Amino acid sequence: MSASESSLENDALRDYPLLAKIDGPADVKRLRREQLDDLATEIRQYMINTLAPIGGHLGAGLGVVELSIALHRIFNSPQDRIVWDVGHQAYPHKILTGRLRGMPTIRQYGGLSGFTKRSESEHDPFGAGHACTSISSAYGMAVARDLQHTDKQIVAVIGDGALTGGMAFEGLNNAGTGKHRMLVILNDNEMSIAPNVGSMSAYLARLITGKPYTQVRDATRKVLEKLPGAYEAARRLEEHVKGMVMPGTLFEEMGFRYVGPIDGHDFNHLLPTLENCHDLDGPILLHIVTRKGFGFAPAEEDPETWHGLGPYNIESGEPVRSEGKPPTYTQVFADTLADLADKDERIVAITAAMPGGTGLSSFAKRHPDRCIDVGIAEQHAATFAGGLAVEGLKPVLAIYSTFMQRAYDQIVHDICIQNLPVVLCMDRAGIVGADGATHAGSFDIAFLRCLPNLTMMTPKDEAELADMLLTALQLDGPSAIRYPRGNGYGVEIRTPQALPIGKAEILENGKDGLLIAVGTLSRAALQACEALRKQHGKRLSLINLRFIKPLDEDTIIAHLRNKRPLLVVEEGSAQGGIGEAIAAVAARAGWHGPFEHIGIPDAFPEQGTQAEILRDLSLDTAGISAALHRLFNIA
């Protein structure tokens, strides 16, 4: 680091005297107890100030500042494993584990990941970007530890709605029966399980994890187990008494010793309880209650908006709005669906804990009874949609492409095999930008185009998205529409018109070759064609594919010219993508000529802006032009 860079860094951290001294968990342990509250304040202010110009997952991180400090105070990472569910809760954890100075780069091109990432730090034992994985992975680590006869603590932190997902309960069910030592911390930031937080419940939590209670409990168990029926009666009495003052019966029945609820923002509760839990055997569930966005009033008052957002104004507490830009594809989808639902009472919208992200919050304002949020439960959402369809409704399942992966068996078994008219609307298809590999919608074309009975579409612009939504709702079988993150092109949104099923759109007609574009890449492809014509006199046919399935083989074959180039571009996985299907069509038709296919390669995309990643993958105008030059041997 140069002297000037060091000076800038020191200036940036000048307002955070405690935080500037934290290079790892050992530094947290060296602080005096009375300094921890000041450290928490500095972390919050640093996060608020650092994320303002770049955005990020602010609310969840603000809610776990005290927990993060307490965990690194009591446990010994990286030897002890601290697993953060979803990963967007982990910003304070990153700050405390040597990544403080990298935080201004978070979610930026070449910068820190917005989630936990094993290759980024030894303090991230398990990578995460999707919900509900912490308990299962932590339990795997606990079993591995015991099989290898090592001594380490395993901690899983789950919250921010992740307990609504079935996989979390699968993990609890298995871990509870295994009796391996591990700690699950339920970060309840919505007061969804228990509002009973205060001095009494905190006192009880410390009491039942303390040595006197534990020693008496274990000694009593040994005596009562020798008396027929006595131990079971005592166990039920204990659960009944605890159940009157704390909501832990469910977790106790699953095999966990339940502790809490306690105030997750109070070190006087957190530290002694974590110390006690550290010394307990078997599976423990510690229930803490926090406030999402704690310490920043706008985030506390509107946790959904401040869950994850772009740049914001600290003084006004308002996100920085993009003025004058066309509506997003998400907005066009939601507005069109709401308009169609005005005329058809059978339309029902479903989301999996993402009403804001999928646009369905606005739909819900107009049709509250027909907008259903099932929680982080994509599998259930798909089968639930099938049940609605069986009874004659028209379910529209709006889920990000990356999360639709979690419902694949249900799409196959509960929708496609039964040929049910469920519409799968996959937002964030293709490159998503700052969230990187865990959220990239790379694979939906590959995993859906192989399914019988399914019709699959992708629009070239926002107007065509509206047409496709109407088209899908008129089908008698399952359908899927994929569309990208971000703004449209500003084309006029006319009254939607149904499209002829399986028919591509011819954008340019030429004799020198064929370019097939999938979805919104049609715009970049058209620009590349125009440049080739103006600079080199080459005229290509350009097809906007529109329908991934059924594939318009007749139109493709009609525009193939033997020995003339064929280029296919798609913002999806090249492995198993539509380009492979088109190459097979051309081969069967007897076509011979130069061929190139540009898609997302056999690697997970990095993080960065969409434009940066599309550039790196040659899926922008320059990349498509370069491919055409190669095909025509133009230097």
Which active-site residues does the annotation give?
Answer: 292, 378, 406
Paired strand residues for 351: 373, 398
Q: Kindly state the helix (H) or strand (E) to which residue 285 belongs, with its residue range.
A: strand 283-289
- 416 in helix, strand or coil? helix
Contact between 356 and 488 under an 8 Å Cβ cutoff? The reply is no
Rounded (10°) CA dihedral 294, 300, 306, 307: 60
Q: Residue 401 to residues 28, 441, 447: CA-CA distances in angstroms?
A: 40, 5, 11
Query: For residue 205, what is the DSSP state?
Result: H
d(CA 112, CA 342): 45
What tokens were used for 82? 């601290």
Contact between 17 and 41 under an 8 Å Cβ cutoff? The reply is no
Q: Residue 115 to residues 5, 49, 93, 296: CA-CA distances in angstroms?
A: 26, 19, 11, 21
What tokens were used for 486? 């971000």
Q: Which residue type sits at 107?
A: R
Burial class (CB in 10 A: 0-12, 13-18, 19+), 113: buried
How much of the chain is helix, strand and coil, in % rounded to 5?
A: 45, 15, 40
Q: Kindly state the helix (H) or strand (E) to which residue 456 belongs, with its residue range.
A: strand 455-457
Q: Which residue, 487, 481, 451, 453, is CA-closest to 469? A: 481
Q: Residue 579 to residues 71, 473, 525, 548, 569: CA-CA distances in angstroms?
A: 49, 27, 15, 10, 7
**Count of CB atoms situated within 10 Å of the CB of 578:** 27
Report DSSP letters for 247-262, one per residue: S-HHHHHTTPEEEEEE
Which residue is listed with tokens 């957002």? 309
Phi, psi of 519 (to 5 degrees): 70, -140
User: Taking every pair of C-alpha atoms in the chain, what is the biggest distance, in angstroms?
Assistant: 95
- 89 in helix, strand or coil? coil
Strands 283-289 and 312-313: unpaired
What tokens were used for 61? 């991180």
d(CA 461, CA 332): 10
d(CA 545, CA 578): 10
